[in-house]
Structure 1
Amino acid sequence: MLTSAWLDGLSLGDPIAADPLEGGYASRTFRVRTALGGSVVVKTQDNLPENLYALEADGLDALRAPGGFAVPEVLRVTPSYIVLSDLGTSEPSPTYREDAGRALALQHQQTADKFGYHVDNYLGTLPQRNPWTGDGHTFFAEHRLLRYLEEPNCHNQLPADDRRRLERIAGNLVNLVPVQPPSLLHGDLWHGNLLPAPNGGPAMIDPAVHYGWPEADLATLLIYGRLSDTFFDAYEEVHPPSPGWRARLPLLHLRELLCITAHWPDRAETVQEIHTILEQFD
């Protein structure tokens, strides 16, 4: 798949090849090589919400901060595709893991007065609701847990007992999760959305940005693994979480598991993971 319109007017040269890239759910992603010897990344898909790529661009811009992660430059946004600078395939620097942990800690030190974001955006292809909310427990309960119960795939796959458990846990979050500031979150921070920048330092892609609990970003990273303790040790040096944070991470990871269940109609393994966590914290 190669479309000249992707690069028209960008002074990058004509596209000569589009190599598929792995990762991501919503889009087909390509590294597009140009006649001038450069490359860009193009994400495209049919039948997506028309503002999805514009909101991705907004999230990338929100994550740009001195001393933080590198993020790709947004070169073009349309309803059907987004063109990004190519971070390439560099090797991580010798201090990549420590630098990534510190960068995330610095990002989480950027806070707002309330939880939420200035606009609703997307997690996958489903709306991520971000109304400004003064209380973090209310925000997480209503807009990160219970909102998925109305999605048809969750309604059809989650047993009634587990839906009731989820409602009880949502109502008891104040006793399960300590007060945390509304910090700037990537919002979908599994290891596949972290990668080395061209200089070998840490970079991030594919955000679902909002202001929320810092431990929610850590939950996705730790549950999905592939990051050493070096990363988390560096994070803790700069931005120490409250005691017991690792034990809480499965609870905060419910949001990701519910979102996965909401996207697909046959997720028996994920539903079982949800059941196990609900039994643990109910």
Structure 2
Amino acid sequence: MEKPLLTYIGERLGMGILNFSSVGGGSINQVYYLQTKSEKLLLKLNNKEDFPGMFKAEAEGLDIIRRTNSISVPEIILQDEFGNDSFLVMEWIDNKRPGTKASILLGEKLAQMHRNTTVNFGAVADNYMGSLKQSNQSHTTWAEFYIEERLKPIVQIAIDKHLINNDNMKEFDQLYKNIPRLFDEEKSSLIHGDLWSGNYLIGIDDRPYLIDPAITFGHREFDIAMTTLFGGFSNEFYEAYQYHFPLNEDWQQRIDLWNLYPLLVHLNLFGLGYLGQVKDCLKQYI
């Protein structure tokens, strides 16, 4: 990190930065631990031309979650630009591995967050899923939103990259026709949108925090399905969630339907290694 940027951040914070160090976990952004005289902070940094508006959207997403008074998120301290850099400074969370108490709290607090609703699906500013932009235009049904704002745009990227062929495209066209009858519509829920195990933290007091949101008002099964994609969520988490906000009895039949979207994101970002999983999910619903 260049000294002029560090000096600027210190000036904006109104306090000197005593030291800093790079921390892991940033596949898109550079991530740093900052130590000031009075507090520990986390800095995320990227090129503003590569990911325009990413940190603004992240800060807004965290603020929307915070205002639900349900699950905790890190406090946003500063979001700004300097030269070619865009950056986000937030509260540093000392964290630990989740135990039983923390897993139960995570399920309970996520259920509380999901009870926040609005009239339409989408209905928040556009944001990012990983390094890919995603649109959150409002639709009256989740089926319409999922097809038009999630699947169609991400499938088009895969077509443009020659990652899927015409036969795959015909299968997606059939899927779009089938989706409305594959599930029961319910009121929209505020969902995290990228809920894998790397996007929650457990504080040393067992308090769960959500980070790196890709929020929208969507179907809450989408969040729960994604928790199963890469693991990292315990049985206690699912039991607590079900106790506080039970899912439809057949929700597990749609896990692969909702996970099509994050798998397509991974296909576009990381290549053909994910194509087999995409095809396996797709064929179940056509």
TM (norm. structure 2) is 0.91
Match of 1:138 in 2: 144
Tell me the CA shift for residue 94 of structure 1.
Answer: 4.7
Q: Which amino acid aligns with 1:180?
A: E
- The residue correspondences of 1:109-148 to structure 2 (distance < 5 A) are 109-148=115-154
Distance 1:131 1:11 in 2: 38
Distance 1:111 1:64 in 2: 15
Matched, 1:202 2:205: no
Match of 2:74 in 1: 72
Given candidates 6, 11, 34, the residue that maps to 2:9 is 6
Tell me the CA shift for residue 117 of structure 1.
Answer: 2.3
Q: Secondary structure at the match of 2:11?
A: coil
Q: Which amino acid aligns with 1:41?
A: L
Q: Which amino acid aligns with 1:61?
A: D
Distance 1:239 1:233 in 2: 10
Q: Secondary structure at the match of 2:19?
A: strand
- The residue correspondences of 1:244-259 to structure 2 (distance < 5 A) are 244-259=250-265
Match of 2:275 in 1: 271
Deviations 1:124-158 (A, max 9, x none): 22221111111111111111111112215664111
Q: Which amino acid aligns with 2:162?
A: N
Distance 2:216 2:12 in 1: 32
Distance 1:94 1:237 in 2: 15
Q: Which amino acid aligns with 2:75?
A: E
Deviations 1:54-73 (A, max 9, x none): 11100000011465221111
Given candidates 242, 245, 260, the residue that maps to 1:239 is 245
Q: Secondary structure at the match of 2:21?
A: strand
Tell me the CA shift for residue 250 of structure 1.
Answer: 1.0
**Are 2:192 and 2:214, in contact at CA under 8 Å, matched by a contact in 1?**
yes
**Are 2:141 and 2:185, in contact at CA under 8 Å, matched by a contact in 1?**
no
**Are 2:178 and 2:285, in contact at CA under 8 Å, matched by a contact in 1?**
no
Distance 2:13 2:24 in 1: 22
Distance 1:280 1:154 in 2: 25
Matched, 1:158 2:159: no
Distance 1:66 1:208 in 2: 16
Q: Secondary structure at the match of 1:17?
A: strand
Given candidates 11, 31, 34, the residue that maps to 1:32 is 34
Distance 1:237 1:65 in 2: 23
Q: Secondary structure at the match of 2:162?
A: helix
Q: Which amino acid aligns with 1:120?
A: D
**Are 2:68 and 2:116, in contact at CA under 8 Å, matched by a contact in 1?**
no
Tell me the CA shift for residue 197 of structure 1.
Answer: 2.5
Deviates more, 1:100-109 or 1:42-51: 42-51
Q: Which amino acid aligns with 2:8?
A: A
Match of 1:190 in 2: 196
Tell me the CA shift for residue 89 of structure 1.
Answer: 2.7
Per the alignment, do residues 65 and 98 of structure 1 end up closer, same or farther by CA in structure 2, a change over 3 Å counting? farther
Report % sequence identity. Answer: 26
Q: Secondary structure at the match of 1:169?
A: helix
Root-mean-square deviation (CA, aligned residues, Å) is 1.9
Match of 2:92 in 1: 86
Match of 1:215 in 2: 221
Distance 1:133 1:158 in 2: 27
Per the alignment, do residues 202 and 57 of structure 1 end up closer, same or farther by CA in structure 2, a change over 3 Å counting? same
TM (norm. structure 1) is 0.92
Match of 2:20 in 1: 17
Matched, 1:261 2:264: no
Poorly superposed stretches of 4+, deviation over 3 Å: 90-94, 152-155
Per the alignment, do residues 279 and 66 of structure 1 end up closer, same or farther by CA in structure 2, a change over 3 Å counting? closer
Tell me the CA shift for residue 37 of structure 1.
Answer: 5.7
Per the alignment, do residues 199 and 66 of structure 1 end up closer, same or farther by CA in structure 2, a change over 3 Å counting? farther
**Are 2:105 and 2:207, in contact at CA under 8 Å, matched by a contact in 1?**
yes
Distance 2:235 2:67 in 1: 24
Distance 2:166 2:27 in 1: 28
- Where in structure 1 are there 5+ consecutive unaligned residues? none
Q: Which amino acid aligns with 2:255?
A: L
